[in-house]
Amino acid sequence: MINKNDFLKILGNNILIGDGAMGTVLQESGISTSPDLFLSRNKNSLKVLSEIHLSYLKSGSNIIQTSTFGANPIKLEAAGLKPEIKNINEKAVICAQIAVESYKKITANDNKNPVNNSGCCAKSILIAGNLGPTGKLLKPFGDLDYKDAVDAYCEQADILLKTKIVDLIIIETMLDLNEALAAIEAVKQINKDAALICTLTFNENGVTIMGNKAEDAVNILTDAGCAVVGANCSVGSDKMLETVKKMRKANPDAKLIFQPNAGLPSIKDGKTVYSETPEIMAQNIKKYLEYNPSILGACCGSTPKHIKKIAALI
């Protein structure tokens, strides 16, 4: 685990590349279940998921996320998998670790990715433990107490951090700023110095479905202790540009991350497909560069091909 200050040093004035969708790539392989459920039910999950992680690393990703988006206790209880929380989260971390180790071996003799004195590939490679929404609304809009949300995220974050494999925590796809704050509070209870990334999901006008505005969220999340804040999911790369602009205008110094969807989904031959090709997505994300992002990646509908095109921009 790296602390916030060390993470900020790694970022510096650089732009790191995140990864893309896991579920999309699984679907292309004929697997329709979510990655976390796949981990609990398929004996080949370690091999399959680690190979997908590796494909993102080969495409230019610096940061890969564990497949634990839906592996918090509240979500797992709804799926009847609460007793497997430790197993699912730990297996997801191992998948990412296998991919990183494989990538280091592959690139050990590659002049483009020299190995430093510690035996690690000099290209920054980090594993982010992923915390996603609980799937419930906080009071007064729903029946979930803020404290119960904190406790749920504490349980998951504790498992992820105790592996001593994840480098940082990413809290993503949050519809409600207060739920994001609950997750941040939980991680800090486990490790007050943890490096944290947090992204909300906004519409094309930069507002969440709970009414949180991008220009407010960037400062609230930064003040809560996040190293990097931003947006992911919900809209395509063209529509996310407005959120990019609003966040940067609201905070000229914040470290920002943007990971849009690959356009809009549609059903074709019984499968969900997205409208943005890797070329179109990269062309749109190129417009983000003038707003000085620190991390760029992709979300639903994206593949290693999309990440390769995004990485080529840097």
Instruction: Read off the pLDDT of residues 266-285 as tens digits, 9 standing for 90 and up.
Output: 988 878 889 999 999 999 99
pTM of the model: 0.94
Per-residue pLDDT of 51-68, as tens digits, reads 999 999 999 999 999 999
Could you tell me the residue range of the domain that residue 224 belongs to? Answer: 4-311
Identify the weakest region by mean pLDDT among 31-35, 219-223, 304-308. Answer: 31-35
Exposed (0-12), middle (13-18) or buried (19+): which is 287, by Cβ within 10 Å? middle
| Range list of H helices, 16-109 | 23-28, 35-41, 45-59, 73-78, 85-107
Per-residue pLDDT of 202-260, as tens digits, reads 999 999 999 999 999 999 999 999 999 999 999 999 999 999 999 999 999 999 999 99
The whole-number average pLDDT for the span 74-90 is 95
What is the count of structural domains for the chain? 1
Specify the 3-state DSSP secondary structure of 297: coil
Whether residue 80 is predicted with pLDDT greater than 70 in this model: the reply is: yes
The DSSP letter of residue 137 is P
Q: Which residue has the tokens 């990485």?
A: 311
Give the separation between CA 58 and CA 227, rounded to whole angstroms: 26
| Range list of H helices, the chain | 4-11, 23-28, 35-41, 45-59, 73-78, 85-107, 146-162, 177-190, 214-223, 241-250, 278-285, 304-311
CATH of the domain at 304: 3.20.20.330
Residue 140: is the preceding peptide bond cis (ω within 30°)? Answer: yes
The answer for residues whose C-beta is within 8 angstroms of residue 30's C-beta and 6 or more apart is none
Reported as a pLDDT band with limits 50, 70 and 90, residue 120 is: very low
Give the separation between CA 157 and CA 129, rounded to whole angstroms: 8
Asked if residues 114 and 183 have their Cβ atoms less than 8 Å apart, the reply is no
**Of 97, 144, 146, 104, which is closest to residue 124 (Cα–Cα)?**
104
Percent of the chain with pLDDT over 70: 96
Give the separation between CA 287 and CA 121, rounded to whole angstroms: 30
Q: How far apart are the first and last CA of the chain?
A: 26
Asked if residues 222 and 229 have their Cβ atoms less than 8 Å apart, the reply is yes
CA distances to 160, 190, 193, 195 from 6, rounded to whole Å, are 19, 18, 10, 8
Mean pLDDT of the chain: 94
**Token duo for residue 274:** 């997205």
